Amino acid sequence: MLGWLFGRRRPPEIPDALWQPVPARYPFIARLDSPQGARLRELAAQFLQDKEFHGARGFEVTDGMAVAIAAQAVLPLLQLAPPGSTAAAALGWYDDFVGIVVHPGEVVARRETMDDTGVVHRYSEVLAGEAMEGGPVMLNWPDVDRAGESAEQGYNVVIHEFIHKIDMRDGQPDGCPPLPHGFAGMSGTRAARDAWFAVLQPAFEAFADQVVRARRFGGEPPWLDAYAAESIDEFFCVACEAYFVNRARFAQDFAPLVALFDAFFRPPRAS
């Protein structure tokens, strides 16, 4: 797999036959203009050279599957890196891991937690994907494969897990990625984080309240995946899925978050 990347001089390239199906299958990639599409392809090629794909339970990850995953994984980095930076430099956001494990379907994970009284609780959780701090990313192929259709609902498992990776660059996931110097006009890291949460926190609380009202009292269910109400870091990741794959629909419910995410993922460039 991916033998076409090895044994050749940098920069790596993705052959046309493998790249052309990507915008055809994923409308949120097809909407990119030509320079953005070329940059995404460059980032995806470097990503494929840096990472190792593994199929779980005998599942075969083809070159086409790997390219599809790579294109979606690097979409958040498209404008995040400084102008003129190399693909390798841009992918520094993902340099804490190498492995990507692809499953043929959702995964049932066994969990164990201890409550405040010391009682251990064991339960099972169905996972579409998972990102571990300093460790690999797990994805299920059916959800990746359906990403073109599920964009209507703002759903994208690849982007979700890789936003977790971005969030975890400065430690445990908390819904705030490492913010650049001067973010939101702030001079310090603490002030920048306060400005970030001043927008994200009320959006999360309003969304969680809508989920509760829909579940308990038959209120209007939210368009965004209700899983986002689990915690503010999950809200951040789910919101970013929708922001990248269905920006227009996302903006209808979360206009302040569009502005906030633009400030981070599409920072203003010096003239």
* Confidence at residue 10, expressed as pLDDT on a 0 to 100 scale: 62
| pLDDT at residue number 250 | 98
- Domain 174-271: give its CATH code: 3.40.390
Can you tell me the distance from the alpha carbon of 34 to that of 40, in angstroms, rounded to the nearest whole number?
10
Q: How far apart are CA 168 and CA 172, in angstroms?
A: 5
- For residue 205, what are its two tokens? 């609380």
The closest alpha carbon to 93, from 112, 108, 78, belongs to 78
Residues belonging to the chain: 271
Question: Can you give the pLDDT at residue 230?
Answer: 96
Instruction: Select the highest-mean-pLDDT range: 7-16, 84-93, 176-185, 223-232.
Output: 223-232
User: Could you report the per-residue pLDDT of 91-116, keeping only the tens digit for each?
Assistant: 999 999 999 999 998 775 554 555 56
Claim: this prediction has a pTM higher than 0.85: yes
- The total of other beta-carbon atoms located within 10 Å of residue 44's CB is 28
Q: Are 207 and 229 in contact (CB under 8 A)?
A: yes
Range in 4-18, 48-62, 166-180 with the lowest mean pLDDT: 4-18
231-266 pLDDT tens trace? 999 999 999 999 999 999 999 999 999 999 999 999
- Output the six-digit token pair for 1: 């797999």
Residue pair 253/222 in contact by the 8 Å Cβ criterion: yes
d(CA 254, CA 214): 18
What phi and psi, each to the nearest 5 degrees, are found at residue 111? -115, 155
Token pair recorded at residue 133 = 């701090």
Average pLDDT, the chain: 90
pLDDT of residue 110: 57
Amino acid at 135: G
Q: Inform me whether the pLDDT recorded for 83 exceeds 80.
A: no
Delimit the domains of the chain by residue range. Answer: 174-271
265 neighbors 80 (Cβ within 8 angstroms): yes
Query: pLDDT for 26-42, tens place per residue?
Result: 999 999 999 999 999 99
- Per-residue pLDDT at 117 exceeds 90: no
Output the six-digit token pair for 245.
Answer: 């794959």
Q: State the Cα–Cα distance between residues 11 and 65, nearest whole angstrom.
A: 21
pLDDT at site 122: 57
Give the three-state DSSP class for 99: strand
Q: 111: which strand partners? A: 123
- For residues 256 and 203, give the distance between their C-alpha atoms in angstroms, rounded to a whole number: 8
| pLDDT above 70: percentage of residues in the chain | 88
Q: Using the predicted structure, report yes or no on whether residue 146 has a pLDDT greater than 80.
A: yes
Q: How confident is the model at residue 123 (pLDDT cuts 50, 70, 90)?
A: very low
Cα distance between residue 170 and residue 35, in whole Å? 31
Nearest of 266, 211, 226 to residue 244 by alpha carbon? 266
**pLDDT value, residue 84:** 80
